[in-house]
Amino acid sequence: MNDVIFLRTSLQALVAAVLFTAMGPASADDTRDLYQVQCASCHGEDRLGGIGPALLPGNLSRLKPEAAETVIRDGRPASQMPAFGEQLDDGQIRSLAEWIYRAPEVEPTWGRDEILASHEVTHPDGSLPDEPRFDADPLNLFIVVETGDHHASLLDGDTFERIHRFETRYALHGGPKYTPDGRYVFFGSRDGWITKYDIYNMEVVAEVRAGINMRNIAVSGDGRYVMAANYLPHSLVLFDAHNLDLMEVYPVMDKDGESSRVSAVYAAPPRSSFIAALKDIEEVWEIPWPLPTEPMVSTGHTTSPQRSHDTANFQVRRIPVPDYLDDFFFDLEYEHVIGASRGGQGGMVVNLDSGEKVADLPLEGMPHLGSGITWEYEGRRVMATPHLTKAAVSIIDMTDWTVVKTLETDGPGFFMRSHANSPYVWVDVFFGPNRDRVHVIDKKSLAIVETLIPEPGKTAAHVEFDRYGDKLLLSLWEEDGAVIVYDGDTLEEEKRIPMSKPSGKYNVWNKTRYEEGTSH
Q: CB of residue 250 vs ligand DHE: minimum separation in angstroms?
A: 18
The stretch near ligand DHE (CB under 6 A) out of 95-103, 169-177, 250-258, 393-401 is 169-177
Name the residue whose CB lies closest to ligand DHE.
Answer: 174
Under 8 Å between Cβ of 311 and 238:
yes
C-alpha closest to that of 186 among 265, 295, 298: 265
Q: Which amino acid is at 140?
A: N
Q: CB of residue 124 vs ligand DHE: minimum separation in angstroms?
A: 26
Three-state DSSP class for residue 312: helix
Under 8 Å between Cβ of 111 and 192:
no
Q: Is 351 in the site for ligand DHE (CB under 6 A)?
A: no
Q: Which of 179, 195, 394, 503 binds ligand DHE (CB under 6 A)?
A: 503
Three-state DSSP class for residue 237: strand
DSSP 249: E
Q: Is 344 in the site for ligand DHE (CB under 6 A)?
A: no
Q: Is 192 in the site for ligand DHE (CB under 6 A)?
A: no
Q: CA 131, CA 88: separation in Å to the nearest integer?
A: 57
- Where would I find the beta strands (DSSP E) of 10-150? 120-121, 141-146
Q: CA 308, CA 278: separation in Å to the nearest integer?
A: 27
The strand pair at 273-278 and 213-219 is best described as unpaired
φ, ψ of residue 325 in degrees (nearest 5): -115, 105
Compare residues 185 and 264 and give the one whose CB is closer to ligand DHE.
264
Q: Is 173 in the site for ligand DHE (CB under 6 A)?
A: yes
Compare residues 20 and 178 and give the one whose CB is closer to ligand DHE.
178
The stretch near ligand DHE (CB under 6 A) out of 20-28, 73-81, 199-207, 309-317 is 73-81
Q: CB of residue 372 vs ligand DHE: minimum separation in angstroms?
A: 11
Q: Is 264 in the site for ligand DHE (CB under 6 A)?
A: yes
Build a one-symbol-per-residue string for 206-245: x at contacts with ligand DHE by CB under 6 A, - elsewhere. ---------xx-----------------------------
Q: CB of residue 229 vs ligand DHE: minimum separation in angstroms?
A: 8
Contacts (CB under 6 A) with ligand DHE, residues 114-143: none
Q: CB of residue 456 vs ligand DHE: minimum separation in angstroms?
A: 21
C-alpha closest to that of 179 among 327, 302, 337: 302
**What residues have CB less than 8 Å from 356, skipping those under 6 apart?**
350
The stretch near ligand DHE (CB under 6 A) out of 34-42, 78-86, 242-250, 466-474 is 78-86
**What residues have CB less than 8 Å from 133, skipping those under 6 apart?**
200, 201, 202
Q: CB of residue 78 vs ligand DHE: minimum separation in angstroms?
A: 5
Q: Which of 31, 147, 260, 510 binds ligand DHE (CB under 6 A)?
A: 147
| DSSP code string of 170-195 | SSB-S--EE-TTSSEEEEEBTTSEEE
Q: Which of 132, 175, 347, 469 binds ligand DHE (CB under 6 A)?
A: 175
Q: CA 273, CA 402: separation in Å to the nearest integer?
A: 28
Under 8 Å between Cβ of 348 and 339:
yes
Q: CB of residue 43 vs ligand DHE: minimum separation in angstroms?
A: 11
Q: CA 350, CA 285: separation in Å to the nearest integer?
A: 13
Compare residues 125 and 146 and give the one whose CB is closer to ligand DHE.
146
Compare residues 49 and 132 and give the one whose CB is closer to ligand DHE.
49
The stretch near ligand DHE (CB under 6 A) out of 167-175, 179-187, 333-341, 343-351 is 167-175
Q: CA 358, CA 335: separation in Å to the nearest integer?
A: 11
Q: CB of residue 371 vs ligand DHE: minimum separation in angstroms?
A: 6
Contact set with ligand DHE (CB under 6 A)? 78-80, 147, 173-175, 215-216, 264, 370, 414, 462, 503-504, 519
